[in-house]
Amino acid sequence: MSARIRPALLALALGLPSASTLTAAPACGAAGTPAAQSADRLLQALIKVSGVPGMGAALWQDGRVVWTGCAGWRDREAQQPVQADTVFRLASVSKVYTATLAARQAEQGRLDLDAPVQTLLPWLAGRWAPLSVRQLAAHASGLGHYTAADQALGQRHFADGRAAVRWFIERPLLAAPGTRYTYSSWGYTLIGAVLEAQGAAPFVEQLQRELGVAVQADPAGVGESVSRLYAIDGGAPTRLPGNDMSYTMPGGGLAATPAAVAKFGGRLLAGALVSPATWAAMREPYRLADGTPAGERDYQVGLGWRVGQDLDGAAIAHHAGITAGARSAVVLWPEQATAVSLLSNAIWVSSIERSAMLLAAPFRPTPAGVSARACPQTAQTYAGRLGDTPISSRVHFRLEAGRCLGVLDPDPTLAGAFAKATAWPGRQLEIVGLHADGDLGRAALVTPYGLYELRADAQGWQARLASTELRLTFGR
């Protein structure tokens, strides 16, 4: 990544449309394409198996939101369903909005991403070693994450970013800036304070005005179209009281509809928020002092965005979030001009990025090498392996409007793979074919952790559950 995103790149940037010119998202449940019908079926199955009260999702492609999916309740007690205009908490998906605003201001020459924040915020003089917005965005600043001392922060309000930074200003760095990846939402609170100082306006107002995005400060579960907040640990959903997210507004305190999040991703892909060159630079992993890229697990981190590959090797940029009353994800395929969002109204043990990617699968090209396989409607049992352990139990398939659907009773070994599920009401797994053509060559395995792709091959069917391979065959 270059030392600084240059103002000259602004020449490539596109103008921002007004709110009135943005294409409206299709209504949930409206008659749609076969791909939309498949995604709807997957989302409904995910709600059923996971026990999450409500979810919404959306997909952007070809310059517009082409699908909006809704499942479950935005208000379970009042029996109000999730709708296209339902607003969910974004949790840490808020971070990519913050990073994009910083990149735009840098592109315009209004912000130096590599300048010590102490020079941008004079009131920080003498605090910490010099650290930059670029390091904060890549979680390489040395700042720590939340601690036990922060548990009650949702009970107080912070007027602005500077007030929130004062909360942790006395805490020492965990490492020298630029030397170690240490995830820190506090780092984004500090970026927000920088943006407010440089832009001379409140953070959310800058997002709305400069990026033209339909996003708002988290409404704490209050409002006509706002999803309520739930916990599902231990069984039936429990309503949570609202909490004030002003302490972490740039790192986890935003809210939006699923369509607005997908549209944000799509407009970023289209060059409408920053130039294509700036967007490419944002996806370049930050290099630590020893030359290794910042990141963890299967992704690296650039300017806010996590970058990696999907199961078929396609490049993706993504982020996920978790907080009380929310689990969220946004995934972008830069080379395929596709963006998908998935938002929910409870914390749950989930593979939410994988789930979002599978919701997008019906809209994307079929990967090479996928084998066609007829729906095994006569099958009554399954057998196979989870890792090195044999598994077997009962299964039932049916065709519904041409789609192959299955219900699988997990044996003790397979059930054990989901032992940490936050909720699992029916104690069954479902299988949903991705296409309504009677084929089960490519399907979703619906679990309390989320959606996993199930593919046919010469030996039967295969899925990757985290780091463990699942293999299945079906018979009488």
Summarised one tens digit per residue, pLDDT across range 405-435 is 999 999 999 999 999 999 999 999 999 999 9
pLDDT at 10 over 50: no
Q: What is the mean pLDDT of residues 75-91?
A: 97
**pLDDT tier, 329 (very low <50, low <70, confident <90, very high otherwise):** very high
Pairing of strands 442-447, 450-457: antiparallel
Compute the chain's Rg from CA coordinates.
22
Between 29-38, 270-279, 337-346, 367-376, the lowest mean confidence (pLDDT) is in 29-38
Check pLDDT > 90 for residue 461: yes
Which amino acid, residue 10?
A: L
Is the pLDDT at 471 greater than 50? The verdict is yes
Q: Give the pLDDT confidence score for residue 21 in this predicted structure.
A: 31
pLDDT value for 239: 96
Q: At what angle do helices 185-199 and 161-168 cross, to 10 degrees?
A: 140
pLDDT of 120 over the 80 cut: yes
Strand partners, 341: 58, 330
Q: Which DSSP letter does residue 202 get?
A: -
DSSP letter for 211, please: I
Higher pLDDT, 369 or 214: 214
Cα separation values, 134 from 174, 281, 407, Å: 17, 12, 48
pLDDT of 320 higher than 80? yes
Q: What is the mean pLDDT of residues 161-171?
A: 95
* 63, amino acid identity: G
**What's residue 355's pLDDT?**
97
pLDDT bucket at 59, cuts 50 / 70 / 90: very high
Q: What is the mean pLDDT of residues 369-396?
A: 95
Pairing, β 216-217 against β 338-344: unpaired
**Which residues are registered as beta bridge partners of 58?**
68, 341
Residue 6 CA to chain centroid, in angstroms? Answer: 29
Q: Tell me what the mean pLDDT of segment 38-51 comes to.
A: 96
The mean pLDDT of the chain is 92
| pTM of the predicted model over 0.75 | yes
**Where does the pLDDT of residue 29 fall: very low under 50, low under 70, confident under 90, or very high at 90 and above?**
low
Identify the band that residue 281 occupies on the pLDDT scale cut at 50, 70 and 90. very high
Instruction: Average the pLDDT over 194-203 and give the result.
Output: 93
Average pLDDT on 134-149 reads 96
Contact indicator for 103, 150 with CB cutoff of 8 Å: no
Report whether 143 contacts 295 (CB < 8 A): no
Distance CA 194, CA 359 (A): 36
Phi, psi (5° rounding) for residue 330?
Answer: -135, 135
Three-state secondary structure call for residue 299: strand
Residue 11 reports pLDDT greater than 80: no
CA separation for the pair 386, 464 (Å, rounded): 10
Task: Please tell me the distance from the alpha carbon of residue 418 to that of residue 402, in angstroms, as a whole number.
Answer: 30
User: What is the DSSP secondary-structure string of 145-174?
Assistant: ---GGGTTGGGS--SSHHHHHHHHTTSPPS
With a cut of 60, say whether residue 266 has pLDDT above it: yes
Residue with tokens 């916990």: 231
Residue carrying structure tokens 């990757």? 464
For residues 223 and 86, the answer to whether their CB atoms sit within 8 Å is no
For residues 75-90, give the mean pLDDT: 97
pLDDT at 234 over 80: no
Residue 273 has pLDDT above 50, yes or no: yes
Least confidently predicted of 12-21, 26-35, 452-461 = 12-21
Residue 242, pLDDT above cutoff 70: yes
Say how far apart CA 328 and CA 150 lie, in whole Å: 22
Q: Is the pLDDT of residue 12 over 90?
A: no
Q: Which of 75-79, 146-150, 204-208, 448-452 has the lowest mean pLDDT?
A: 146-150
* Mean pLDDT across 93-100: 98
Distance CA 384, CA 411 (A): 11
Name the percent of the chain lying above pLDDT 90: 86
Lateral strand order in the sheet of 88-89: 88-89, 254-256, 216-217
Extract the runs of DSSP E, i.e. beta strands, from 223-334.
Answer: 230-231, 238-239, 254-256, 295-296, 299-301, 306-309, 315-323, 326-333
Alpha-carbon distance 410 to 451, whole Å?
Answer: 16
Lowest mean pLDDT among 15-24, 78-87, 307-316: 15-24
Calpha distance 319→100 (Å, rounded): 13
What value does the mean pLDDT take over residues 153-181?
95
User: Dihedrals φ, ψ of 284, to 5°?
Assistant: -80, 125
Higher pLDDT, 255 or 30: 255
Quick one: pLDDT band at residue 257, thresholds 50, 70, 90? Answer: very high
* Residue 162 confidence (pLDDT): 95
Of the candidates 23, 33, 5, 26, the one whose C-alpha atom is nearest the C-alpha of residue 133 is 5
Residue 113, both tokens: 């991403």
